[in-house]
Amino acid sequence: MLDDGHFQGTSGLSARQPPDHTRIRSFVNKAFTPKRVASMEPFIRELAVTTISRFEKDGQADLVTQLSYDLPALVIFRLLGIPDQDVPDIKEWALSRVLMNFGNPSEQEQLGHAGNLVKYWQYCVELVNSRLQHPTDDLPGDMARVFNSGDHTVSTHEMAGLVYGMLTAGHETTTNLLWNSFRDLLTHRSQWEALVADPARIPNAIEEMLRFAPSVFTWKRKVKRPVTVAGVELPVGANVLLLLGSANHDSEHFVDGDELDITRKNARDHLAFGLGIHYCLGAPLARLESRVVLEELTRRLPNLRLKEQEFTFAANTSFRGPDHVLVQWEVE
């Protein structure tokens, strides 16, 4: 089905090696600039305020379905110049991609997901082609301008791969980070209250949240050269699953690593965004989104409390966030 649908969705960056990786990452860095990320703040704030005001008077909400399911998707889609009405389709296609790569779907389910992947890839190809014709004020438009100015260090196929990658990497991850943050801050309520009292603590709290319960808690890698880790010899070509979430609790590096402490001095040493040449491209955007949402939520609903509930999670190897976070508060 994938071949019939001309599916050629290849990894934008994460599974590539130098010199390919260096070439493509240098190209996208010219478009994914700090200025482009910072320009998103007013939109993110407006989105957070509008979304919270929809349930502010209800006295109860599911912060997953009512606040942070769509928000990071709407942000990355705005950055990539995708209209709001395409959000449900792309969320569904991106989930198919996650489940095909990190889940355990049955043969029948795989067919459905493959159909989605074909549509997803075609969407990315068409998006890049349209920007090359008419570069708009968004990230693919910026890439098209770089390309049209004569920088052909990446092909249009690779540009489509970058969009394809960012459309998945750019929302499930941040969505899950927000969900984990709501749950953990409210479970450790004194830490929530500390943020309400002093929002200047939010940036460090986000680092601690990334450390404590990273939304990408494992990552897959292949061994490139023979190496011995903690006495275990790993041969070339071995598949390894890096336990980022476990490293983040390493008591040799983080004092009382199993405790949540939003004032932790070295919280930023976490591996939630990876390390080295593959360090997360979207980390500044994820940090910005989380800061704005937490600023607005602590300001508007300081009395939030968790309802009695059991947290459940979608089954997969790498992406983790609760299905629901039910909260309540007194309405004045």
Interacting residues with ligand HEM (CB under 6 A): 12-14, 25, 76, 165-166, 169-170, 173-174, 177, 214-216, 219, 272-274, 278, 280-282, 285-286
Q: Compare residues 9 and 12 and give the one whose CB is closer to ligand HEM.
A: 12
For the CB of residue 242, give the shortest distance to ligand HEM in the complex, in Å. 8
Residue number of the CB atom closest to ligand HEM:
282
For the CB of residue 182, give the shortest distance to ligand HEM in the complex, in Å. 14
* CA atoms of 91 and 167, how far apart (whole Å): 9
Q: Compare residues 243 and 308 and give the one whose CB is closer to ligand HEM.
A: 243
Structure tokens at 63: 């912060």
Query: Alpha helices, DSSP H only, in the chain?
Result: 20-29, 34-38, 41-55, 63, 71-79, 87-102, 107-133, 139-148, 156-169, 172-187, 189-197, 202-212, 244-247, 283-300
Closest by CA position to 128, among listed 146, 114, 105? 146
Q: Compare residues 39 and 53 and give the one whose CB is closer to ligand HEM.
A: 39
Q: Compare residues 6 and 23 and give the one whose CB is closer to ligand HEM.
A: 23
Q: Compare residues 282 and 322 and give the one whose CB is closer to ligand HEM.
A: 282
* CA atoms of 274 and 15, how far apart (whole Å): 13
* CA atoms of 146 and 31, how far apart (whole Å): 8
Strand 227-229 to 60-62 pairing: unpaired
Q: Compare residues 13 and 99 and give the one whose CB is closer to ligand HEM.
A: 13
For the CB of residue 4, give the shortest distance to ligand HEM in the complex, in Å. 28
Closest by CA position to 184, among listed 329, 48, 320? 320
For the CB of residue 328, give the shortest distance to ligand HEM in the complex, in Å. 26
Closest by CA position to 168, among listed 308, 72, 273? 72
For the CB of residue 12, give the shortest distance to ligand HEM in the complex, in Å. 6
For the CB of residue 14, give the shortest distance to ligand HEM in the complex, in Å. 4
**Residues 6+ positions from 40 with CB-CB distance below 8 Å:** 75, 78, 79, 285, 288
Q: Compare residues 1 and 241 and give the one whose CB is closer to ligand HEM.
A: 241
Q: Are 140 and 132 in contact (CB under 8 A)?
A: no
For the CB of residue 220, give the shortest distance to ligand HEM in the complex, in Å. 9
For the CB of residue 17, give the shortest distance to ligand HEM in the complex, in Å. 10
Q: Are 183 and 322 in contact (CB under 8 A)?
A: yes
Q: Compare residues 221 and 328 and give the one whose CB is closer to ligand HEM.
A: 221
Q: C-alpha angle with apex 261: 271 to 206, nearest 5 degrees?
A: 50
Closest by CA position to 169, among listed 83, 70, 103, 97? 97
Exposed e or buried b per residue across 229-259, where buried means at least 16 C-beta atoms within 10 angstroms of its C-beta: eeeeeeeeeeeeebebbebbbeeeebeebee
Q: Compare residues 22 and 53 and give the one whose CB is closer to ligand HEM.
A: 22
For the CB of residue 308, give the shortest distance to ligand HEM in the complex, in Å. 28
